[in-house]
Amino acid sequence: MCRAGRWCGTGAAPVASRPLPNMPIDRVLVWFRRDLRCSDHAALSHALRTARSVACVFVFDRAILDPLRAQGCERDRRVEFIQRSVAEVDRRLRQAGGGLRVLHGDATECIVRLARQLGVDAVFANRDTEPYAIERDACVERALAAQGCSFQTFKDQVIFERDEVLAGSGRPFSVFTPYRKAWLHRLGETDLLPHPTPIDAGRLQPVPGGEKVPDLESLGFLAAGLDAIGIEPGESGALDTLDDFSARLDRYADARDFPGLRGPSYLSVHLRFGTVSVRALARLAQQHLQSPDPTHGTRGAQTWLSELIWREFYQMALYHHPRIVDQAFDPRFDRIKWREDPERFRRWCEGRTGFPLVDAAMTQLNRTGYMHNRLRMVTASFLVKDLGIDWRLGERYFARQLNDFDLASNVGGWQWSASTGCDAQPWFRIFNPVTQSQKFDADGRFIRRYLPQLSGFDTRQIHAPWTVEVGQQRLAGCVIGTDYPAPMVDHALARQQTLERYAVVRQPK
């Protein structure tokens, strides 16, 4: 995700399963959402343990997909990831004698209609605390109740949710460190146990003949090229990625901040769509922390677990303060007068700011849908504090581009960088894009990968090529202002303007 949690299986030893309550129900419909896997799935586990017959469904929700198409995003990598992951869930369920009904329409109408057609006693789903999901689920619950069907939701996306980790006053935390301490203090032996999902127990209801997972074209989308950027969807892809990361976990703390290294987990998109269980990820960290193997360090596992806790911190904050999607967590910062400059914003989006690390990061995002988490902070800081542009515009652009877009983490990360959020960096802390480049991409490896026109500059010059004498620029094959943009702003001047802009927070209301 670092500061991965700020934006946001295999390799694990077998552990005992958690006990589940007995709730005698005859027929259940399990509604898959952002939990596209068959193992360690809370709602599916409860259904298989308590119902005689279990049907499964996924809905391609038009309320989510139609706006993407309206924006011209027919090649959306996330839709391809979901479609292929849904197809894998369907295959696994069919192999066990069941299957996944896949619908395309208004989610509320589809679920209520299917529940009535199947005559189920209950619909089970895993909880989602995003504002849209809360409103949607409330509508589903009311409609189901009207036809005599219950709607039951279960905790699955997080280890601790909503009100489970609160300050001593009973209020939600607004600072991460005490939240992290309380989270770790609450963590018990059973919290990381997987939910058993015996899909081969003969309780799965088969899908009627002829029904199949719709392809992308029938949904109104086209393939976006996940294979070309090395993303393997589905639970199988998640486990492969987890295997790879487990071998690198001990080096995570040292490598995670350097975009030219293979340091991050690359699991964020899988965590976002639930093709991997968060319990499996936290369990991996705990196993390394508790391992007697002297070759296992603890810094990597501690840092990784902390990033997972950051993710839950932001989910908790969004649940208790849904206004932060559009408003500053700290209302004082809503007084700031942002610069309205569409051309500046466009150049930032396109990676043409003239600052190599910023431009390489934006190029990576636009080309692959991924951005290294250190660079998420750098690019966000540059937009807000060098260009003076409202953080909400950047948050929405990332929301359109990121494969792993998660509302809570994205809003939390942007408000952290803009100094407007809970436990945000101080507003007078302003990243210098050149020194960040020199520190975290010292040899220019990452810059050269995404900005090959700068490859002729040596490791000293590449971070600020406009400072190189014109004759040397020609020798490097890149004249600044012609072959690569000149810097949009003078960082020192922009810093001073930002300090003046933010000074309004010191003024009385």
Dihedral pair phi/psi, residue 179, rounded to 5°: -65, -45
Q: pLDDT higher for 318 or 11?
A: 318
Residue 347 in this model has a pLDDT that exceeds 50? yes
pLDDT of residue 397: 98
Which CATH number is 331-506 given? Answer: 1.10.579.10
Q: Half-sphere exposure (CA, 13 Å, Cβ side) for 142?
A: 7
What H or E segment, with its residue span, contains residue 58? Answer: strand 51-61
pLDDT of residue 24: 62
Residue reference for tokens 């603890």: 298
pLDDT of residue 291: 79
**Alpha-carbon distances, residue 440 vs 2, 301, 411, 432 (angstroms):** 12, 21, 24, 12
Give the pLDDT mean for 245-261: 95
How do strand 122-126 and strand 150-154 relate by DSSP bridges? parallel
Q: What share of the chain is helix, strand, coil (3-state, %, to 5)?
A: 50, 5, 40
Q: Which residues are part of the catalytic machinery?
A: 307, 310, 338, 373, 391, 414
Q: pLDDT higher for 120 or 20?
A: 120
Residue 500 in this model has a pLDDT that exceeds 50? yes
Q: What is the largest CA-CA distance in the chain?
A: 81
Residue reference for tokens 């407007």: 420
Give the distance from CA 322 to its chain's centroid: 17
Dihedral pair phi/psi, residue 230, rounded to 5°: 80, 25
Residue reference for tokens 């902390």: 306
Residue 93 in this model has a pLDDT that exceeds 70? yes
Is there a contact between 366 and 350 (Cβ–Cβ < 8 Å)? yes
Is there a contact between 367 and 401 (Cβ–Cβ < 8 Å)? no
| Nearest Cα to Cα of residue 287 among 430, 362, 206, 189 | 189
pLDDT of residue 505: 84
How many CB atoms lie under 10 A from the CB of residue 161?
A: 16
Q: For residues 129 and 138, what is the distance between their CA atoms, to the nearest angstrom? A: 12
Tens of pLDDT, residues 16-68: 434 444 456 899 999 999 999 999 999 999 999 999 999 999 999 999 999 99
Domain boundaries of the chain, sorted by first residue: 331-506
DSSP per residue over 156-218, as a string? -S-SS-TTSS--TTSSPPSSHHHHHHHHHHH--TTTTPPPP--TTSS-BPPPPTT--PPPHHH
Q: For residues 137 and 387, what is the distance between their CA atoms, to the nearest angstrom? A: 40
**Helix 131-146 vs helix 107-118: angle between axes, to the nearest 10 degrees?**
30
Average pLDDT value for the chain: 93
**Alpha-carbon distances, residue 403 vs 74, 78, 258, 361 (angstroms):** 14, 6, 20, 15
Q: How sure is the predictor about 11, in pLDDT bands with cuts at 50, 70 and 90?
A: very low
Q: Edge-to-edge strand order for the sheet containing 150-154?
A: 101-105, 51-61, 25-32, 122-126, 150-154
Q: pLDDT higher for 506 or 354?
A: 354
Q: For residues 130 and 108, what is the distance between their CA atoms, to the nearest angstrom? A: 16
Q: Lowest mean pLDDT: which of 185-199, 237-251, 279-293, 452-466?
A: 279-293
pLDDT of residue 12: 33
Residue 451 in this model has a pLDDT that exceeds 70? yes
pTM, two decimal places: 0.92
Residue 113 in this model has a pLDDT that exceeds 50? yes
Exposed, middle or buried, 340 (CB in 10 Å: 0-12/13-18/19+)?
exposed
pLDDT of residue 454: 98
Tens of pLDDT, residues 411-434: 999 999 999 998 877 888 899 999
User: What region, left, alpha or beta, does residue 402 occupy, with left being phi > 0 and alpha being psi -120 to 50 degrees?
Assistant: beta
Question: 29: helix, coil or strand?
Answer: strand
Give the pLDDT mean for 194-198: 97
Tens of pLDDT, residues 361-406: 999 999 999 999 999 999 999 999 999 999 999 999 999 999 999 9
What token pair was written down for 400? 């359109």
pLDDT of residue 508: 61
pLDDT of residue 15: 36
* Angle in degrees, CA 449, 455, 458, rounded to 5: 120
Residue 329 in this model has a pLDDT that exceeds 90? yes
Give the pLDDT mean for 452-480: 97
Q: pLDDT higher for 407 or 210?
A: 407
Dihedral pair phi/psi, residue 474, rounded to 5°: -65, -40
pLDDT of residue 13: 34
What token pair was written down for 478? 């890149």
